[in-house]
Amino acid sequence: MAFSFETTYKELDSKLYSRVTPKRIPNPDILVRNDELRADLGLDAAGLNATILAGQELLEEPIAQAYAGHQYGRFTILGDGRAMILGEHIYEGDRYDIQLKGAGRTPYSRSGDGNATVSSMLREYLYSYAMQKLNSKTSRSLAVIETDEAVTRRRTEPGAVLVRVMNSHIRYGTFQYVANKASDELQRFTDYVIDRHYPALHEKNRTYVEFFDAVMQSSIEMVVDWLRVGFIHGVMNTDNMSIDGETFDYGPCAFMNYYDEETVFSSIDKHGRYAFGNQRPILQWNLERFAEALQPLCTQSALTYDELEGKLDEFEERFDAQYYTMMRKKLGINSDGEEELIEECLEWLRKSNADYTNTFLELETPGTVDDPAFATAAFEQLRNKLAAVGLNEELMQEANPRYIPRNYLVEEALEEYLEAGDLSKFKELLAVLENPYASKSTDSQFQQPPPREFDAKYTTYCNT
């Protein structure tokens, strides 16, 4: 079948979105299409030609959503400046937003052109694919469509449109927008979100408190999963925080190679606000802003702000519990406790600056990785301590990927397409990442971190 749209978001107050039309694309060309995702959505290949995917044949009128957000700590009114939702696709009782990125200007574009470069859309396709295969809850990319136009950012490239799929694109910043611009609609909007994402909460006595609690829990699980695989989102503004814990907006993101909690690759994160080790405190800060956005409910319903603050007070303990559970699995520890030993392992990583991904592979199976950092007495001593309580292979193999999207390999793949129109390296990366927990014959190439000089200079960009 083709898309089966039933867009309930249009039933909300019209202040929350704008009706839009995708730009005209004379000769759209499908560069990559995710046929696994296509099947998951119950879609036929024949019904997903380039014109349908690029929004040139509309099944209903698309919308661009309004939202707000704290961007690097500053509150701003925002909206989908280069994105629009084609519709909410229904399959086997589940609902999915089908969104186009790079589909042209919207009322929220401000000075932007609404376009996207082919390299940035291929990057998002690859990173969202990798995160899904790494067993992290994430947006997914259905296709990248190249256009005839030239788009200039840091360089001039072909334009492209990404077809992104999410449970929904509702974010912390959507609540901030409603609270700021349509506070009389906040209770109705919150009920809509609960119906869509957390319907079981209607059976609870304190529905809105439980809603905040559920959002906080799903967000904790999301960020702990980032820390598990060494992912740095790079732009954790409140408008990029999903209400149901889906990682999305793969702009200046990257994966950490050499362990350093201050690792930052984003060109716009000048002060390290969203560094690898800051993702936990920033999540807490963002949740505080989300709680503030819910504050009008305290006068519209039985909710009290003290109840929201009570939930926020639980953040540290709950994050710690989730984090240490995750780290015990990475270290193969099949019991509670051992926090001191986990901290000792982290301290070794801080001092050694060893490759994060490969450290756990070497702990599991000595001799897996050729790295001088693992041929030291300190590492051997750490491994002996861990062996006494952990290093359970089954646990470690489930928690520790053999492969991540190494930044330099991603750049090589994108450059090959821009320079030669060749997607061979890109598709090779996708093939390796299809099962990142299983070793392949290409181990050494794809497990190898970049030269340290590369990481020291490597910079990622939003390309908006």
Residue 410 has which token pair? 């991603």
Neighbour-count burial for 229-264, b at 16+ CB within 10 Å, e otherwise: bbbbbbbbbbbbbbbbbbbbbbbbbbbbbbbbbebb
Contacts of 363 (CB under 8 A, 6+ apart): 331, 332, 382, 383, 386, 391, 396
- Please say whether the beta carbons of 145 and 102 come within 8 A: no
Residue 150 has which token pair? 């030239």
Q: Where are the alpha helices (DSSP H) in 202-256?
A: 207-229
Q: What residue type is assigned to position 188 of the chain?
A: R
* Helix H or strand E encompassing 293: helix 279-293
- Please say whether the beta carbons of 255 and 233 come within 8 A: no
DSSP string, 319-356: HHHHHHHHHHHHTT--SS--HHHHHHHHHHHHHH--BH
DSSP 8-class letter at 167: S
The CA distance from 399 to 421, in Å, is 36
Q: Which of these, 450, 176, 216, 194, lies nearest to 312 by C-alpha position?
A: 216
| 389, 391, 396, 402 alpha-carbon torsion, rounded to 10° | 150
Q: Which residues are identified as catalytic?
A: 239
- Around Cβ 119, how many Cβ atoms within 10 Å? 24
The CA distance from 434 to 23, in Å, is 33
